[in-house]
Amino acid sequence: SYGAFLDIGAQTDALLHVSRMSDDFVSNVEDIVKAGDTITVRIVSVDADKGQVAVTARSEEAEKAAEDRRAGGGGRRRDRPRRSGGDREAQKKTLVALSDKGYDSDKFVEGQVASVLDFGAFVRFDTSQLGEGLEGELDGLVHISALQATRTDSVSDVVSVGDTVQIRVKNLDVDGGKVALSMISKEDEPKPRERRPRGQQNQRWSPDEMGASDWADTMKDLEQPGFTNSPVLIERK
């Protein structure tokens, strides 16, 4: 889970994000809070237009340190993590090894945010957390849609460079050297939109709505009523 919603007596519940539950790293929300608990928090931000309230249980020092990271460019970087040639080669070998051994796409492991972009965040993680015999670090992309179960308007609202986060591996592209990550469970992943097969995108009605495709042949087998044309007299005045 990405956090907990709290009743603070306002018109809307407040969100206590998992990254703001403690000064220390939190891997499981229920290790810190459970439904019905009474806890002390501070309001961090209020968005009246969206009806959103963000709160924190971290110390002021921890919040200030996170804010300093953002001010230092955490939310402004527009490129991937910079890698040396040796690092690229090492990550390529690590990626191949992970692909060959396999991984549990449901398992969450710890990673650190290396770069923040408009469309997501790159997170570096140690593959040894995914199974025995694995070693080496990888950089993977958490797309903005996979940062939290609710809609995210800005990546930097959720993570900053240097943050420790919980991620899981979604997909690997060995040939492209890409790793897709997520910070939410499979159950909370947005459902993909249904796409019509190629050639049907511009059709107004789906095949199901049009009925059986052999309707014309079927009509031939049905007995059709007969019609006889007769002359019609029109009286003109």
Tell me what the mean pLDDT of segment 9-35 comes to.
81
Reported as a pLDDT band with limits 50, 70 and 90, residue 96 is very high
Question: 102 Cβ partners below 8 Å, 6+ apart?
Answer: 131
Q: What is the pTM of this model?
A: 0.51
The angle at the Cα of 190, spanning 56 to 22, to the nearest 5 degrees, equals: 15
- Asked whether residue 101 carries a pLDDT value surpassing 50, the answer given is yes
209 in Cβ contact with 202 (< 8 Å):
no
- Residues 6 or more apart whose CB falls under 8 angstroms from that of 22 comprise 32, 57, 58
- pLDDT at residue 81 in the model: 52
Longest dimension (CA), the chain: 104
* CA–CA distance, 48 with 61 (Å, rounded to integer): 26
As separate numbers, helices (DSSP H) first and strands (DSSP E) second, the chain gives: 4, 9
Closest CA to 116 of 164, 165, 73: 73
pLDDT at position 51 is 81
Give the per-residue pLDDT at 234.
63
Q: Pick from 9, 29, 179: which is nearest to 94 by CA?
A: 179
Read off the pLDDT of residues 190-237 as tens digits, 9 standing for 90 and up: 766 555 555 555 555 555 544 555 555 555 555 556 656 666 666 665
Q: Report pLDDT for 192.
A: 62
CA neighbor of 111 nearest in space, from 187, 4, 19: 19
What is the DSSP secondary structure assignment for residue 145, as one 8-state letter? G
pLDDT tens per residue, range 138-180: 999 999 999 998 888 889 889 988 889 999 999 999 988 899 9
Distance in Å from the first CA to the final CA of the chain: 87
- Tell me the backbone φ, ψ of residue 69, rounded to 5 degrees: -65, -40
pLDDT in tens, 117-137: 888 999 999 999 998 889 989
